[in-house]
Amino acid sequence: MARGVYIHIPFCHQICNYCDFNKVFFKNQPVDEYIEAVGKEIEMAVRKSPEQFQEIETVYLGGGTPTALSAKQITRLLHHINSILPTDQLIEFSSEANPDELTEDKLEALINGGVNRLSMGVQSFDQQLLKKLGRTHTNEHVYETIELAKKIGFDNMSIDLMYGLPGQTMEQWEDTLMKALELDLPHYSAYSLIVEPKTIFYIQYAKGKLSLPTEDSEADMYELLMKKMAEKQKEQYEISNFAMDGHISTHNKIYWDNDEYAGFGAGAHGYLRGIRYSNYAPIKKYIETIQNNEQPLLREHKVSFEEKCEEQMFLGLRKNEGVSFEQFEKKFGVSMKKLYGNTIEQLKIEDLLLEDEKGVKLSHKGRFVGNEVFQRFLLED
């Protein structure tokens, strides 16, 4: 049964140099037809398996950039969502946003349509770094948009930050953290840059034209991030996420809990009935498939027992609370120690993992090499 719903909006007015998500330039795209197709896909899914959507806790609009849509298009999209899904019971209804696109009429369309949380892609408060990233907003856009959103009625807001950027210095990162924390928002996310294939940065990197900080410098940036967030009482509840009490991202926690969620839209991914699936990514193909009353499934993968156990560890260890012995055994019918006892003991010896009576979690040292720790929980055939 789905705990959450993800809806992908693949349109952008500007393509960022680091982004590998399914996205296209907004201009000359069949945006209105896409919105109708998304509504129809949700309707088909609910009609086919209404029991899957009876207890959803969250809806998340991601992209691309949902706020690339006009206020009228946002209203139409939210009308479809609210008329088909039981959104009156939601804990959280989030939308990603760009600071320079959140006009007053768009903010009003979002809040009138039930959206109660904004996640804004700020990335940096250094204008030169923003230009390298391909971002178009300024610091003034951020300040003005946050004040306007508060005026409209949004009190649950988050901003994304990035470190390990091309040419980024520790001084630039510290300045960005200072400016971000001066906003005193209830939630912050901060991610190190990953140079993904099929991005502009990847092409530059392959040509030797992308100067990145060293691994040690990136580790120092992460250490500073944790220190500054703690000083401002923003509790780290996941490797890259920090929040005040009561403001953790409920939707993202669904992923880290390894629970099920539905994905709608071109290129969207979902996880239902033990099956991970993805939709067609090309927008024209997606729309045509929906118009033919067919589900736009590109591929499905039935997750094996071993994969479920591995994912529970990979995803759960991202959380500061770690993975519970009791919940693991309840979910899989086998104790974590029986499957992973030797691995856990070795990681404890290496000071990468901590254990108490409730479960296991990453140590402070382990947070810096999380991916290496996660790989140790792969089960042999």
In a domain, 380, yes or no: no
The mean pLDDT value for 155-175 works out to: 97
Instruction: Report DSSP state, residue 357.
Output: S
- Answer yes or no: is 276 within a domain: no
How does pLDDT run across 71-113, given as a tens digit for each residue?
999 999 999 999 999 999 999 999 999 999 999 999 999 999 9
CATH of the domain at 353: 1.10.10.920
- Give me the pLDDT at residue 304, please: 97
298-324 confidence digits (pLDDT tens): 999 999 999 999 999 999 999 999 999
Judgement on whether residues 29 and 111 belong to the same structural domain of the protein:
yes
The model's pLDDT over 327-344, given as tens digits with 9 standing for 90+, comes to 999 999 999 999 999 999
DSSP bridge pairs for 88? none
More confident residue, 12 or 349: 349
- Of the pLDDT bands very low, low, confident and very high (cuts 50, 70, 90), residue 253 is very high
pLDDT at site 207? 87
Q: What is the pTM of this model?
A: 0.95
Is the CB of residue 317 less than 8 Å from the CB of residue 362? yes
- For the stretch 215-245, pLDDT in tens is 999 999 999 999 999 999 999 999 999 999 9
Token pair belonging to 3: 């705990």
**Pairing between β-strand 117-123 and β-strand 157-163 as defined by DSSP bridges:** parallel
191 phi and psi, to 5 degrees? -125, 145
CATH of the domain at 130: 3.80.30.20
- Which structural domain range is residue 40 located in? 4-256
Q: What is the pLDDT of residues 367-380, one digit of tens each?
A: 999 999 999 999 97
Domain-embedded: residue 261: no
The answer as to whether 290 is a domain residue is no
Residues in Cβ contact with 131 at an 8 Å cutoff, skipping those fewer than 6 apart: none
Q: Tell me what the pLDDT averaged over the chain comes to.
A: 95
Number of structural domains in the chain:
2
How far is Cα 161 from Cα 193, in angstroms, rounded to an integer? 10
Assess if residue 29 is contained within a domain: yes
Q: Are residues 188 and 82 in the same domain?
A: yes
Residue 271: the pLDDT is 98
